[in-house]
Amino acid sequence: MYVAVKGGERAIEAAHELLAQARRGDPQVPELTLQQVSGQLSLAVDRVMAEGSLYDRELAALAIKQARGDLIEAVFLLRAFRTTLPRLAVTRPIETGRMAPRRRISATFKDLPGGQMLGPTFDYTHRLLDFALAAGASAAPEPAGVPAEPGPMPRAPAAVDPAADVNGDARGPARALAFLDAEDLIERPPMTGSDDPPDITRDPLAFPAPRAARLQNLARGDEGFLLALGYSTQRGYGRTHPFAGEIRMGEVEVEIVPEELGFAIVIGEVTVTECDMVNQFAGSATEPARFTRGYGLAFGEGERKAMAMALVDRALRADQLGEDTGAPAQDQEFVLYHSDNVEASGFVQHLKLPHYVDFQSELNLIRRIRAGTPRAVAAEPEPAAAGEED
Amino acid sequence: MPDASDLHSSAPPPQRRRWMAVLAKASVTELERAWASLQDRPGYRFLRPPECGLALVRGRIGGSGDPFNLGEMTLTRCAVVLDTDGATGFGYVAGRDARHAELAAAFDALMQCATRADAASAIDALGAAQRARRREAAQAAAATKVEFFTLARE
């Protein structure tokens, strides 16, 4: 039983003041600006937007500053803010195939049509601390390899190129797995024509959860949790033999169809990271064997997140694909009910709130046990179990 | 010219889609500058004052399959009517900048008037700047293009 406590207002006020001081740090040091957070801690901002499930760089930067860099607290702040805003529109699905990628790699085909671009990656760095950064000596580096005189980029005419955006720019290299698809060696993404996916922020999860609901859950799920689960599948708890078929990161246009206009308009761009994972085969007496896939998509630059998500997405399909199940990553309820770090953090951290009455009853119980009065123990219902508020 | 009594624009969607995209992707600073550069700036009133809310962003399963809900983004919308001829303009822009939505709506209204070549050229300039930025980003990314080769065993 949770019993409300009163009092402590002055202590709480003083604690919040202390928090504000701790947040500010040494007043001799200039205060962080949101532009600095957004520009120089951009991956923290991306993670907070992804798990906060709200794309707004400035708000995420503010949340990080306010939370003193505690990213889960920042996610919480962003989620809370989100509830204050009305939902004005639902976008058309973003078309990642038309992304102008800043990074695009494949671990399955070295000669990818359109080429592999490493982009701004930590891969192939030596992971040695760079003391030049500590000295603050990082003059903005020259943009790598940009020719002094940029040559004209060939552009397809808007009218004929179906992949062109509204400004007539052709975008997006072909998907790496397209030629596997041309040979019918890989399963196709589900295309039922449904255009009303479930929304787990409005309707509670029901099990078995459809894949669209699972992906929404994973997209806002905690990166650490998904990383560990994905890792567990690689180590044998629900093996899926994955290969990173294609990873791409870049900007995509977002479109809505306002009622008063009746046609689609672009409202802006978002940066996303996508991972198309290729996994071992499924087939049957009637269906030829085909590669299967797992899918990951995250707001911002979130490659580790997108990859882990793709692994877990694939693991959660074990049932549908007729594979052995039983590993944690294959268990829908286990995964989907524990992926949200705001819920998890709330429930774990509520343990520090006053539980004085609960604990009193436990204390009474153990005293009676120790006093050798088993009668009392057997006769009464366990007060803690019966009265626990959670 | 649109009929002044008609709320809906008669501008053909492809062109309008193009300028609305440019307006949405421009920064508010760029739009302020573009607005200030106009020869005469018509007065307008709000049909709907700027309002900030959310858009639920959808992705596609596997990148090309059925849609799923990826997350939300902030969105600000605004609608204005020009004092001069009653043309209506809409602004729908990512983010929470009320002024951005307002200027986008004002430009959209102005673009309904075939005579406002200055507005059209201001938007063209913004679009060109956006393409140049995109080209620069594409070139920077292209510089990281790799040719992996496998080492065959003899």
The full DSSP string for A14-45 is: HHHHHHHHHHH--TTSPPPPHHHHHHHSHHHH
Going through B4-87 in order, the beta strands assigned E by DSSP cover 44-60, 67-82
Please compute the mean of the pLDDT values over residues A274-281 and round it to a whole number. Answer: 94
- A137/A371: higher pLDDT: A371
Estimate to the nearest angstrom the gap between the alpha carbon of A187 and the chain centroid.
25
pLDDT tens-digit series, residues B106-152: 999 999 887 788 999 999 999 999 999 999 999 999 999 987 777 77
Q: How confident is the model at residue B11 (pLDDT cuts 50, 70, 90)?
A: low
pLDDT for the residue B121: 94
Is the pLDDT assigned to residue A142 strictly greater than 70? no
Please compute the mean of the pLDDT values over residues B75-88 and round it to a whole number. Answer: 95
pLDDT for the residue A111: 82
Please compute the mean of the pLDDT values over residues A341-370 and round it to a whole number. Answer: 93
Q: Provide CB contacts within 8 A for A211, sequence distance 6+.
A: A190, A313, A316, A317, B61, B68
Q: Provide CB contacts within 8 A for B67, sequence distance 6+.
A: A93, A194, A195, A197, A212, B58, B59, B60, B61
pLDDT for the residue A8: 86
Check CB contact under 8 Å for A59 and B61: no
Find, in chain B, the residue whose alpha carbon is nearest to that of A251.
Answer: B134
A141 at the B interface (CB within 8 A)? Answer: no
Nearest Cα neighbor of A298 from A272, A271, A270, A269 is A272
Min Cα distance B70 → chain A (Å) is: 5
Q: Provide the 3-class DSSP secondary structure of residue A299.
A: strand
Estimate to the nearest angstrom the gap between the alpha carbon of A3 and the chain centroid.
36
pLDDT for the residue A239: 86
Q: How confident is the model at residue A162 (pLDDT cuts 50, 70, 90)?
A: very low
Q: Residue B79 and residue B7: Cα distance in Å, rounded?
A: 11
Which residues, in sequence order, are bridge partners of residue A282?
A290
Annotated domain spans of chain A: 9-82, 96-119+171-188+200-341, 354-387
Q: Residues A292, A280: contact at Cβ < 8 Å?
A: yes
Average pLDDT, chain A: 88
pLDDT for the residue A113: 80
pLDDT for the residue A125: 93
Burial class of A293 by CB neighbour count within 10 A (0 to 12, 13 to 18, 19+): buried
Indicate the range of A246-255, B18-27, B141-150 predicted with least confidence.
Answer: B141-150
Is the pLDDT assigned to residue B9 strictly greater than 60? no
Q: Residue A219 and residue A299: Cα distance in Å, rounded?
A: 8
A254 at the B interface (CB within 8 A)? Answer: yes
Number of H helices, E strands in chain B: 4, 4
Check CB contact under 8 Å for B21 and A50: no
Nearest Cα neighbor of A200 from A72, A79, A76, A77 is A79
In Å, what is the CA distance from A54 to each residue of A7, A59, A68?
Answer: 36, 9, 19
Please compute the mean of the pLDDT values over residues A214-220 and round it to a whole number. Answer: 98
| Cis peptide leading into residue A374 (ω within 30°) | no
Min Cα distance A237 → chain B (Å) is: 23
Q: Residue A170 and residue A157: Cα distance in Å, rounded?
A: 8
Is the pLDDT assigned to residue A169 strictly greater than 90? no
A256 at the B interface (CB within 8 A)? Answer: yes
Helical pair A303-315 and A211-219, crossing angle rounded to 10 deg: 150
Min Cα distance A217 → chain B (Å) is: 9
Estimate to the nearest angstrom the gap between the alpha carbon of A101 and the chain centroid.
19
Please compute the mean of the pLDDT values over residues B39-46 and round it to a whole number. Answer: 93
Instruction: Bin B87: left if φ > 0, else alpha if -120 < ψ < 50, else beta.
Output: beta
- A332/A144: higher pLDDT: A332
Burial class of B13 by CB neighbour count within 10 A (0 to 12, 13 to 18, 19+): middle
A20 at the B interface (CB within 8 A)? Answer: no
pLDDT for the residue A149: 44
pLDDT for the residue A151: 42
B39 at the A interface (CB within 8 A)? Answer: no
Which residues, in sequence order, are bridge partners of residue A249?
A103, A273
Is the pLDDT assigned to residue A79 strictly greater than 80? yes
Q: Are strands A243-256 and A265-282 parallel, antiparallel or unpaired?
A: antiparallel
Give me the total of CB pairs closer than 8 Å, taking one residue from chain A and one from chain B. 255
Q: How confident is the model at residue B85 (pLDDT cuts 50, 70, 90)?
A: confident
Please compute the mean of the pLDDT values over residues A351-378 and round it to a whole number. Answer: 84
Is the pLDDT assigned to residue A363 strictly greater than 70? yes
Is the pLDDT assigned to residue A146 strictly greater than 60? no
Instruction: Bin B139: left if φ > 0, else alpha if -120 < ψ < 50, else beta.
Output: alpha
* Contact residues, A window 163-202, toward B, CB-based 8 Å cutoff: 165-169, 175, 188-195, 197-201
Please compute the mean of the pLDDT values over residues A181-187 and round it to a whole number. Answer: 92
Min Cα distance A109 → chain B (Å) is: 10
Q: Residue B149 and residue A58: Cα distance in Å, rounded?
A: 42
The residue assigned the tokens 């003899």 is B154
Q: Residue A73 and residue A51: Cα distance in Å, rounded?
A: 11
ipTM: 0.91
B105 at the A interface (CB within 8 A)? Answer: no
B55 at the A interface (CB within 8 A)? Answer: yes
Which residues of chain A make contact with B60, given a CB cutoff of 8 A? 93-96, 189
pLDDT tens-digit series, residues A22-73: 999 999 999 999 999 999 999 999 999 999 999 999 999 999 999 999 999 9
Nearest Cα neighbor of A241 from A278, A295, A274, A289 is A278
Nearest Cα neighbor of A294 from A317, A266, A260, A321 is A317
Estimate to the nearest angstrom the gap between the alpha carbon of A198 and the chain centroid.
18
Check CB contact under 8 Å for B71 and A299: yes
Min Cα distance A224 → chain B (Å) is: 19
